[in-house]
Structure 1
């Protein structure tokens, strides 16, 4: 089965949902606010459109979805006022895989609109939100239609498991994985990210910009505890569970 058909963060608002377990991701969005502000400022200096199209790729669901949008939209308002510009109409496209919990997103839209109104006043009426299901490793929007693309903590998710892996006892890169596994994941990322950039190059208008945030590591070891060790521990737990099953 294709990864895009089954992969998604856990929906809803329960104790084990993504919405209740994504504080780290929220902090990352907050840390990138100065970068977003610089990107929006540069966009305004090059071109000030009457209608601004923004895409958030890998939006997931829960409070972080509209927290990210609020950061971007209020930055547009702030920079526009600083430059003496009238706020443009803003079209926000929220993208994630088809299995994403878009229902929860749209149920929380009225709260977002109230929050936006508190921050921007009457300008909040100029912001329109649309859901766009689909993989960001393919085309999602018409040619030359986007001004600004935002994606936070999403692009480390690959489009598929690399083919032909022999990675016995593991579910990702681990300290016991052979070099061929590390090479396969590296090449899959190269292929996926190249496709992502190729698609966005078609969709962005001239002068458009992107702010992309990745999960990374300082170590040169791909299986280091900085990013992959949690998957190694999960593999150990799964192997132990399988060994206890009585056939």
Structure 2
């Protein structure tokens, strides 16, 4: 499956939209903010730029992306005032795949800019320019040596395509405990190709000394089949699809030909690719962890299984519709929610391990 034409988060602002089901992603960004601030501070202190170009890759419908942009601008303005420098123009480039809901971002920009202006103390701050950049980040997106700062959160665990020759991964939709060894190898190889390509493209586009901060779902174990926290949600979803097969609502061969274009790498796998590509020096490479259940309860979401199911639906529904059609969607997510509630007490099922990478362009 080539995912460029079908992978996108659920659009709009409805109950199952990404906009309404990505608060946990914002929490992860907030947890990463000290590293983002450190990277931007080091960039500004070492270069004192008269203008900045900032890119956010995988911006989706925008509110999390604009939150990052807002914080970055505040950091820059604070540093600028402390240094006594003149105001600088900032270009913000928001990227995602062509099917992304860019309209929701663009509609929110006037109120975003108004709110940002009210939060900044300096009257001479800005101006700020915003552009949408549709396209896959597993290819070139920007002009050579044009980017100063690049951010991406919860995007790079999506692959450019489903790995090839994994037809024997029957009744599974991702790496599972029952997956044959070739499936693990195929997923890892696809990640290596994709992440290497990503790094090569960004190396072309970033200025020397530019900073890049990436956050994506990863794993602690070197063996993907033993990392329940990164795989368990897809394994539970596979149970729902298998239940649909047993009821005759999905053909078995249709399920066997469906796999998720998703990979959660280990820290060593990420480090290896960065060192192999060679264009970036590593400033930070570390883990963070978050529990869906604890986070949802903090925000008074009593039905954890329903909220968790909606979060999966917000990111996976377009892929499912493309493969199975939209006729099964309501039934499969109803069944998924039921099965998830039965497994909710299972150890680590709602735990998420994040990898945070901060690098500098050599």
TM-score, reference length from structure 1: 0.95
**Alignment of 1:192 onto 2:194:** yes
Match of 2:179 in 1: 177
Q: Distance in 1 between matches of 2:155 and 2:230?
A: 14
SS of alignment partner, residue 94 of structure 1: strand
Report the Cα distance in structure 2 between the residues aligned to 1:60 and 1:138, rounded to whole angstroms: 18
Other-structure match for 2:43: 43
Q: Secondary structure at the match of 1:161?
A: coil
**1:219 and 1:226 in contact (8 A); partners too:** no
Unaligned runs of 5+ in 1: none
Aligned counterparts of 2:170 and 2:246: Cα–Cα separation in 1: 14
Q: Distance in 2 between matches of 1:153 and 1:197?
A: 16
Distance between the aligned counterparts of 1:115 and 1:198, measured in 2? Answer: 36
Deviations along 1:28-56, whole A, 9 cap, x unmatched?
11112111111112112221222210000
Summarize deviations over 1:181-208 as a string: whole Å, max 9, x none: 1111111111100000000000001111
Corresponding residue number in structure 2 for 1:243: 246
| Residues 57 and 96, structure 1, Cα contact 8 Å, conserved in 2 | yes
Q: Does 1:234 align with 2:234?
A: no
> Which residue pairs with 1:117 in the alignment?
117
Q: Partners of 2:124 and 2:199 in 1: how far apart? A: 32
Contact 2:56–2:95 (8 Å) recurs in 1: yes
Question: In the alignment, which residue of structure 1 is the partner of 2:164?
Answer: 163
Residue 162 of structure 1, CA deviation: 0.6
The answer as to whether partners of 1:88 and 1:126 remain within 8 angstroms in 2 is yes
**Is 1:4 paired with 2:7?**
no
State the match for 1:131 in structure 2.
132
The CA deviation string for residues 113-171 of structure 1, in whole angstroms up to 9 with x for no partner, is 12211112535541111000000000000101110100011111100111111211111
User: TM-score, normalized by length of structure 2?
Assistant: 0.66
SS in 2 for 1:197: helix
For structure 2, the residue ranges without an aligned partner over 5 or more in a row are 252-362
Compared CA separation, residues 216 and 123, structure 1 to 2 (3 A): farther
Aligned residues: 247
Is residue 91 from structure 1 mapped to residue 91 from structure 2 by the alignment? yes
